[in-house]
Amino acid sequence: PESGERRGKAERLFRLMDGFRRNDPVSLQKDILDHVEFTVARSRFNFDDFEAYQALSHSIRDRLIERWHDTQQYFKRKDPKRLYFLSLEFLMGRSLSNSVINLGIRDNCADALNQLGFEFEVVAEQEGDGALGNGGLARLSACQMDSLATMDFPAWGYGLRYQYGLFRQVIFDGFQYEQPDYWLNFGNPWEIERVHVSYAVKFYGNVEEELLNGEKCKVWVPGEMVEAVAYDNPIPGYGTRNTINLRLWAAKPSDQHDMESFNTGDYINAVINRQGAETISSVLYPDDRSYQGKELRLKQQYFFVSASLQDIIRRFKDSHSNFDEFPDKVALQLNDTHPSLAIPEVMRILVDEEHLEWSRAWGIVCKLFSLTSHTVLPEGLEKVPVDLLGSLLPRHLQIIYDINFFFMEDLKKHFGLDYDRLSRMSIVEEGAVKSIRMANLSIVCCHTVNGVSRVHLELLKTRVFKDFYELWPQKFQFKTNGVTQRRWIVVSNPSLCSLISKWLGTEAWIRDVDLLLGLREHAANADLQQEWNMVRRVNKMRLAEYIETMSGIKVSPDAMFDVQTKRIHEYKRQLLNLLGIIHRYDCIKNMNMNERRKVVPRVCIIGGKAAPGYEIAKKIIKLCHAVGEKINNDSDVGDLLKLVFIPDYNVSVAELVIPGSDLSQHISTAGHEPSGTGSMKFLMNGCLLLATADGSTIEIIEEIGEDNMFTFGAKVHEVPALREKGSALTAPLQFARVVRMVRDGYFGFKDYFKSLCDALDGNGDFYLLGHDFGSYLEAQAEADKAFVDREKWTRMSILSTAGSGRFSSDRTIGEYAEKTWGIEPCRCPF
Ligand code: T68
């Protein structure tokens, strides 16, 4: 029988048997026990928590696969314009809780496990984090995938399946050490290996010319081929059957180009050399700030771009034959410039393989791509040395030169022979190391360049991409970042979730987040306030317990939990926080008993990873431990002040820390944080913010009002002039005093901390810690004052959650869909 006929038969039979997976507790139980016996290969009468996790996950995976198939078939039939989200990083965290909640079967799963003698929370804790990314950019991708699925958009994500995710941070003697995160060791039930979905990716070699129908065309003869194999990760939407795909590529040796090495007779070495291919997807680069022009990094970028585009174009060609329709069916989103080789790659395919004329191909390419920038610093912009690019991807270098040639010609027409401008805007940077500027390449080709907050766009327009803005003002837009309330309230704070639903009288806010505004009218209600505080107290106790197990430090849940968790960076100013803590300690030490009675007890919590090569960031971690050592062991201070460093901060640790925080700090030097998404997660959980007016905080202030948070510090527009002043800037006396304490070795390690202190002296204080110190202390004092007024604090807390809806990734994705991608929902019937 032909395949259509076969499919019809199978479907009729299956419907007759009613074989779809059922979600009642008994059916779930049966599936779990089957998976224990047949997938995990343990006895169904004898298995532990981890095996229960594996079996439950496989049962959920089965359900995800059913929905995935239905969704993909539906998309295929409807053939809507699709979005492909290209990102080198996705920080997914754990999948079990998120999946069962989005499928709407969490309680049934908990019941099923319960009757088998297991507890859902304990089982869910068995899962390791999927940490295929560094920080904000990568977690944003994960939040956006959740929104794309929930809002029924026909979208797929593409990325790399690193064997080693972000390193594990281990603290020994107060110093950070990095350990490999071999996350696939215990298997990964959330991915589906597609051995038949694989593509050859070419590298190196040279470009030859051939005659085709009397026309000259270029042919790239590669020197190396590597196979890209697809691993699909289903992403279920909440309250919908739609389940979209995150397709990650793994590198495997290719069979296509191996004949020669095997024919030389050195069989053993030929086999061993094949393994080299796998290094391409072996490890995530742990640096989230600078680009080092490393060959492996460039290989990773091209590998994932090439495989993704082959896949996308194959799918397009399945039902279309004319490439002029390509931009009507496909939108390609570049998550920062990391995937920007996609631009010359599409040109190469259209011109060299599909034999379109250059100008027609260029017209198509210019309608396909949009870029989101996640940086403000010029040194954050990717530059690839021409020698490196030319050796790895010789044809792409030619294409980039051609794109640049036409661009320069256009510029000359537009601006005349303004050579300074031409050299600033050129895709090719001349200099000691001739390089390709990936941002310039992207802006030239993308129809839209997005910033991640309003002020970030302003900085892109006036500083980073000023010349381009003058040329193409219409290309520049912003979409303020957002985070998903499914992960950051429903999954991580179930009791707050129920409380919100109770007071709003509906769970609809989980899909329609603007409804959270409805909490505003109850913010002063004494009953809500009491319940709110109870929920928050239990979360604090859970966090206190975690802190004690991790560090042995006992903290009181009566104290204010004051938290700063994020990647360690000079611009994020964890050092400012530490100097503030030293000041607080110093003050307490100098108080008499009477004064001490008025002190608001604090537990200061800091967490985050430093890039392995970032010396200053590592010193900040050590300083945190040195100060903590002193304070925590000072019985004279006792519970009035504690300082805790939470090691190995990642998504699942965040899920525990954020709901248990009272105050959270987002204190970057103004103009340095493009957006900042951590603050949004704390806000959703009713934690008050202590923040500078930077990135999206500016918009948070507008939304919840300055009265409901604690703000301080120089403003974005003031920073350049303050820096000009240099050593003429005055810092308060307290600042000099606390810096001196560190310098003089009050916390030990005098020599080691010297460079940290030197960097704070007048002229060198680039991040303006001294300038902002006074207003920082005032904001902290305000927070203390508010904390003792329980009614006021709780009201502010409720208003924070109420105003957090605007910072949902649902809003962000809705804006992208309408204004940038031109896609519409495509909802698969249940
Ligand atoms: C972050 N960027 C921004 N970069 O710093 C943050 N970079 O303000 C913003 O909220 C977030 O993006 C989302 O827009 C990053 O996280 C990286 O991680 C990174 C990784 C590799 C290379 C460069």
Model confidence at 1, pLDDT cuts 50, 70, 90, reads low
For 151-183, how does the pLDDT look when each residue is reduced to its tens digit (9 = 90+)?
A: 999 999 999 999 999 999 999 999 999 999 999
Q: Tell me which residue has its CA closest to atom 12 in ligand 1.
A: 137
Q: Which residues make beta-bridge pairs with 230?
A: 194, 249
Ligand 1 atom nearest residue 674's Cα: 8
Residue 378 confidence class, pLDDT cut points 50, 70, 90: confident
Q: Which residue of the set 252, 374, 771, 795 is catalytic?
A: 374
Of the chain, the percentage scoring pLDDT greater than 90 comes to 91
Nearest CA to 493 out of 801, 209, 715 is that of 801
Say if CB 97 and CB 105 are below 8 A apart: no
Nearest CA to ligand 1 atom 21: 288
Residues with CB under 6 A from ligand 1: 134-138, 140, 288, 374, 452, 481, 673-677, 695
pLDDT band at 721; cut points 50, 70, 90: very high
Contact 146, 231 (CB under 8 A): no
Query: Which of these is catalytic: 42, 681, 795, 811?
Result: 681
Could you confirm whether 677 is annotated as catalytic?
yes
Out of 288, 290, 372, 569, give the residue to mutate to test ligand 1, the one with the largest number of ligand atoms within 8 Å of its CB: 288
Across residues 77-83, what is the average pLDDT? 98
Ligand 1 center from residue 288 Cα (angstroms): 7
Nearest to 454 by CA among 673, 620, 665: 673
567 as an active site residue: the answer is: yes
Q: What is the pLDDT of residue 261?
A: 67
Which residue's C-alpha comes closest to atom 19 of ligand 1? 288
Ligand 1 nearest-atom number relative to CA 372 = 14
Query: How many Å lie between the centroid of ligand 1 and the Cα of residue 137?
Result: 4
CA-based radius of gyration for the chain? 28
Average pLDDT over residues 705-713: 98
Please write the tens of the pLDDT for every residue from 273-282: 888 899 999 9
pLDDT in tens, 762-793: 678 999 999 999 999 999 999 999 999 999 99
Using 50, 70 and 90 to split pLDDT, how confident is the model at 260?
low
pLDDT for 128-157, tens place per residue?
A: 999 999 999 999 999 999 999 999 999 999
How far apart, in Å, do the first and last CA atoms of the chain sit? 30
Distance of CA 166 to the CA centre of its chain: 12
| CA-380 nearest atom, ligand 1 | 23
Task: Indicate whether 258 pLDDT > 70.
Answer: no
Tell me the average pLDDT across 699-712: 98
What is the 739 CA–ligand 1 centroid distance (Å)? 30
Residue 304 host element (H or E): helix 295-319
Give me the mean pLDDT over the 587-604 stretch. 97
Average pLDDT estimate for 341-369: 98
Calpha distance 542→551 (Å, rounded): 14
Element (H, E) at 666: strand 663-666
Report the pLDDT value the prediction gives residue 8, as an integer from 0 to 100. 85
> Do 631 and 585 contact (CB within 8 A), yes or no?
yes
At 3, the pLDDT band (50, 70, 90 cuts) reads confident
String of DSSP letters for 32-56? HHHHHHHTS-S-TTS--HHHHHHHH
Cα–Cα distance between 61 and 39 in angstroms, integer? 12
CA-287 nearest atom, ligand 1: 21
Instruction: Report the range out of 163-172, 206-215, 280-289 with the highest average pLDDT.
Output: 163-172
Please give the structure tokens belonging to residue 655: 């899920």
Distance 665 CA to ligand 1 centre (A): 18
Name the residue of 139, 337, 374, 478 whose CB sits within 8 Å of the most ligand 1 atoms, as the mutation to test its pocket: 374
Per residue in 409-432, pLDDT tens?
999 999 999 999 999 999 999 999
User: Residue 299 contacts by C-beta under 8 Å, 6 or more apart in sequence?
Assistant: 203, 280, 392
Q: What pLDDT is stored for residue 289 in this prediction?
A: 77
Average pLDDT on 579-597 reads 97
State in Å: Cα 133 to ligand 1 middle: 10
What average pLDDT does range 743-756 have in this prediction? 97
3-state secondary structure of 2: coil
- Mean pLDDT for the chain? 96
The reply to whether 374 belongs to the active site is yes
pLDDT above 80 (res 801): yes
CA dist., res. 764 & res. 30, Å (int): 66
Convert 685-748 into a string of H (helix), E (strand) and C (coil).
CCCEEEEECCCCHHHHHHHHCHHHCEEECCCHHHHHHHHHHHHHCCCCHHHHHHHHHHHCCCCC
Stretch among 66-70, 267-271, 482-486, 548-552 having the lowest mean pLDDT: 267-271
Enumerate residues 6+ apart whose C-beta is below 8 A from 682: 563, 658, 661, 664, 689
Closest CA to ligand 1's atom 18: 288
Which residue has the CA at smallest separation from atom 7 of ligand 1?
288
DSSP state for residue 453 in the 8-state scheme: S
C-alpha separations of 756 from 285, 411, 440, 622 in Å: 26, 45, 35, 11
Distance 679 CA to ligand 1 centre (A): 14
Q: Measured in angstroms, how far is the CA atom of residue 140 from the centroid of ligand 1?
A: 9
User: Does the pLDDT at position 35 exceed 90?
Assistant: yes
The pLDDT tens digits for 490-528 are: 999 999 999 999 999 999 999 999 999 999 999 999 999
Residue 412 among the catalytic residues? no
- What is the CA angle 119-122-127, rounded to 5? 130
CA of 377 to the centre of ligand 1 (A): 11
Contacts of 819 (CB under 8 A, 6+ apart): 448, 477, 479
Ligand 1 centroid from CA 567, angstroms: 10
Q: What are the φ/ψ torsions at residue 192 (nearest 5 degrees)?
A: -120, 115
Whole-number pLDDT of residue 257: 58
Residue 265: predicted pLDDT: 77
Cα dihedral sign for 43, 44, 49, 53? positive
C-alpha 276 – ligand 1 centre gap (Å): 30
Q: With contact defined as beta carbons under 8 Å apart, do 800 and 689 qualify?
A: yes
User: Which residue has the least CA distance to atom 23 on ligand 1?
Assistant: 288
Q: For the segment 630-656, what is each residue's pLDDT rounded down to a tens digit?
A: 999 999 999 999 999 999 999 999 999
Residue nearest to atom 2 of ligand 1 (CA): 137
Mean pLDDT for the stretch of residues 615-640 = 98
- Closest residue (by CA) to atom 20 of ligand 1? 288
Ligand 1: which residue has its CA nearest to atom 17? Answer: 288
Decide if pLDDT at 454 tops 80: yes
pLDDT at 319 over 70: yes
Centre of ligand 1 to C-alpha 733, Å, is: 35
**What span, in angstroms and rounded, lies between the C-alpha atoms of 730 and 759?**
15
Residue 37 clears pLDDT 70, i.e. is over it = yes
Cβ–Cβ under 8 Å, residues 444 and 427:
yes
Tell whether the model's pLDDT for residue 608 goes beyond 80: yes
The string of DSSP codes covering 491-525 is IT-HHHHHHHHHHHT-SGGGT-GGGGGGGGGGTT-
Identified catalytic residue from 572, 573, 609, 771:
572
How many angstroms separate the alpha carbon of residue 677 from the centre of ligand 1? 10
Compute the distance from residue 169 Cα to the ligand 1 centre, in Å.
Answer: 19
Q: What is the pLDDT of residue 726?
A: 82
pLDDT at residue 274, as a whole number: 85
Ligand 1 pocket, mutate which of 137, 478, 569 (most atoms under 8 A from CB): 137
Residue with tokens 């990094």: 297
Please tell me which residue in 35, 241, 395, 567 is annotated as part of the active site.
567
Q: Is residue 276 within 8 Å of residue 101, measured between CB atoms?
A: no
What pLDDT does residue 678 have?
Answer: 98
